[in-house]
Amino acid sequence: MSQPSLWEVWGDHSTSPDKVVLVTGGSGLVGKAIEHVLLAEEGRVNERWVFVSSKEADLSDLTAVQALFDKVKPTHVIHLAAMVGGLFKSLDNNLEFLRTNIIINDNVLQTSFERGVQKVVSCLSTCIFPDETPYPIDETMLHNGPPHSSYFGVAYAKRLVDIQNRAYNLKHGCKFTAIISTNVFGPHDNFVIHGGHMVPGLIHKAYLAKKNKTELIVWGSGLPRRQFIYSKDLAKIFIWALREYEDFEPIIATVGEDEEFSIRETANMIVKAMNFTGPVRFDTSKSDGQFKKTTSNARLLKHLPGFQFTPTQQGLQETCDWFNDNYELARK
């Protein structure tokens, strides 16, 4: 069911709650996961959460952003909105991704500063890290070299968020920070096959292959390795950062290094979760992209030493079950 324009899903509806949290990109994968986690809480009467999507405001339009902030009057912001896509969409749209994301991020951060927002937590991804780097990657390596050439547009635009956060802190003392997420997946993802991300696209392809009794074709050799984080785990980290993290230094949100899987292993987990019994073929004529980008979660675990990540196979099973149950409504 679609949400009403500028919807509130949880919190204090009085005229003056302690926190009014605006979530941009609120109808997307991570936004829906945050909504799910909040609705499962016992409740914090001093917070009101307002989720918005691109239908409510074009964040590349400064006037629209200012009007949105004037309407919601946020004290805190979780900034998830971005123009993104998978490997093959990025290859064709680096310039558009660069320009649009720079504009969106600048509009949100500058308006947050001008309207007196107390804290902004932006969402970055591990694609921003250097292509050639020692492993595991940690937060100190962010600007040590160019990102992989396949998605340099979105990578550089998102790197600038870290630079802006530092600049706003040094100039004005703003508590603007970022969570750097590894490959995130879960219910409410965009399951588009062409131009989307690997996991949701492959889930959709497996669904169709099973339905049509055809082979499942996986693009690339299957050899590159990735860490994955379940969207509901990432949502908990964002909520924690908004409520408790006081630094502007970014934090990587990822599972441990021992939870890194090859694309082939990931495809096999999806095949199992979808109960697909047909043939699987890897199309080696397609690009593999970056071979690996193993990241460390040491800084995160210093702050959240007891954090329990959902095992990848379990998260994939829950995501596949959700997709099967919601096929007609899922974004695809």
The domain locations on the chain are 7-189+227-259+292-310
pLDDT digits (tens, 9 = 90+) for 310-329: 999 999 999 999 999 999 99
Q: What is the pLDDT of residues 63-89, one digit of tens each?
A: 999 999 999 999 999 999 998 766 556
pLDDT at residue 268 greater than cutoff 70 = yes
More confident residue, 39 or 309: 309
- The pLDDT tens digits for 208-240 are 999 999 999 999 999 999 999 999 999 999 999
pLDDT band at 4 (very low <50, low <70, confident <90, very high): very low
The sign of the CA dihedral 35, 37, 40, 44 is negative
Q: pLDDT per residue over 161-182, tens digit each? A: 999 999 999 999 999 999 999 9
CA 191, 260, 304, 137 torsion-angle sign = negative
Least Cα distance to 105 among 117, 121, 92 occurs for 121
- What pLDDT does 186 receive? 97
- Superfamily holding 7-189+227-259+292-310: NAD(P)-binding Rossmann-like Domain (3.40.50.720)
State the pLDDT confidence band at 7, using cuts at 50, 70 and 90.
Answer: low
Average pLDDT, the chain: 91
Buried b vs exposed e over 297-319: b needs ≥16 C-beta within 10 Å? bebbeeebeeeebbebeebbbbb
Write down the residue that tokens 């889930």 correspond to.
203
One-letter identity of residue 182: T
**Each residue of 36-55: pLDDT tens digit?**
999 888 766 688 999 999 88
Q: What is the pTM of this model?
A: 0.92
Phi/psi for 225 (5° steps) reads -115, 145
Cα torsion 189, 311, 124, 91 to 10°: value is: -60
- When pLDDT is cut at 50, 70 and 90, the band that residue 2 belongs to is very low
What does the pLDDT read at residue 1? 37
